[in-house]
Amino acid sequence: MARFKLILEYDGGPFQGWQRLPHGQASVQGALEAAICALTGAAAQVVGAGRTDSGVHALAQVAHVDLQKDFRPDRLRDALNAHLRPAPVCVLQALAVDSSFHARFDAVQRVYWYRILNRRAPPALENKRVWQIMRPLALEPMQEAAQSLIGTHDFTTFRDANCQARSPLRTLERLDISREGPEVHVWCAARSFLHRQVRSMVGTLIEVGLGRMPITAVQQVLAARDRARCGPVAPACGLYLAGVDYPAQGQTGPQPLK
């Protein structure tokens, strides 16, 4: 058996999320496994670094797969991309790795990027890839409020009711907010996240940016450990899995083709 690490880009819009689902529902994992079966003639399980929700995109999702036949990595990449068409999923890079590599358990950090289009005019080119907020957002209050979320906390307030994680404790390493032209970008990094944690935090910080919630309220909302205190959950369309870090290989971001 040969193990390969795959770096993936996809538009999450047409999918019900990463995880393979019963009854033929479209999933990213299912599309990849179908492409592998078409290429090799054998079923294989693809293991992802994270289970993105329905509608969430990826710039550099990481997965691994074991194949009975060995491939030259660049040929595997190209062959899988041919079989993936027309699904909006592509393999940016395929790498031969040791059989001990595990895309999920070896990851030491996951980086998410949230895009907010902050203007009156609707998105023509980025429809379903950004969350549009038409009213002006005040960045400084959002940035100040975000500081209270960095570090190790009980994130029950920002945890989906159906989250299956054993503990609500998570360590948020990074929560940066910046403006790029008409867009406001939120960058989050942690070893792992609770279900819908990023979208819940973004939705609450938007309330601060719109002046509906004072800066100090975010710390109080976090301390309450009460899901009912969370702001509106930001829509999936603006969220991207931007990269995954591993101890040996370093950061996995969007890779140029060779």
- One domain for residues 27 and 148: no
**How far is Cα 76 from Cα 24, in angstroms, rounded to an integer?**
25
98 catalytic? Reply is: no
CA-derived radius of gyration, the chain:
19
Residue 63 falls within a domain, yes or no? yes
Domain boundary (106, 134, 156) is at 106
N- to C-terminal Cα separation, the chain: 25
Residue 252 falls within a domain, yes or no? no
- One domain for residues 31 and 85: yes
- One domain for residues 89 and 152: no
pLDDT at site 248 = 67
- One domain for residues 185 and 84: no
One-character DSSP codes across 106-161: T--EEEEEEEEE-SSSPPSSSTTTSEE--SPP-HHHHHHHHGGGSEEEE-GGGS-T
- One domain for residues 219 and 114: yes
- One domain for residues 64 and 28: yes
Residue 203 domain boundaries = 109-243
- One domain for residues 130 and 234: yes
DSSP 62: E
- One domain for residues 10 and 130: no
Residue 258 falls within a domain, yes or no? no
Residue 253 falls within a domain, yes or no? no
Dihedral pair phi/psi, residue 23, rounded to 5°: 65, 25
CATH number at residue 137: 3.30.70.660
Residue 237 falls within a domain, yes or no? yes
- Check 11, 53, 106, 245 and give the catalytic one: 53
The CA–CA distances, whole Å, from 8 to 46, 145, 149, 258 equal 12, 33, 29, 15
Domain boundary (71, 106, 141) is at 106
CATH number at residue 66: 3.30.70.580
pLDDT at site 171 = 98
Residue 251 falls within a domain, yes or no? no
> What parts of the chain have a pLDDT lower than 70?
248-258
- One domain for residues 126 and 198: yes
Q: How far is CA 208 from the centre of its chain?
A: 23
- One domain for residues 169 and 127: yes
Domain boundary (68, 85, 106) is at 106
Q: What is the pTM of this model?
A: 0.93
Which residues make Cβ contacts (< 8 Å) with residue 179, sequence separation at least 6? 118, 139, 185
Residue 254 falls within a domain, yes or no? no
**How far is Cα 170 from Cα 151, in angstroms, rounded to an integer?**
8
Overall number of domains in the chain: 2
- One domain for residues 202 and 86: no
Q: Are 174 and 189 in contact (CB under 8 A)?
A: yes
- One domain for residues 239 and 114: yes
Residue 80 falls within a domain, yes or no? yes
> Mind listing the pLDDT tens digit for each residue in 75-125?
999 999 999 999 999 999 999 999 999 999 999 999 999 999 999 999 999
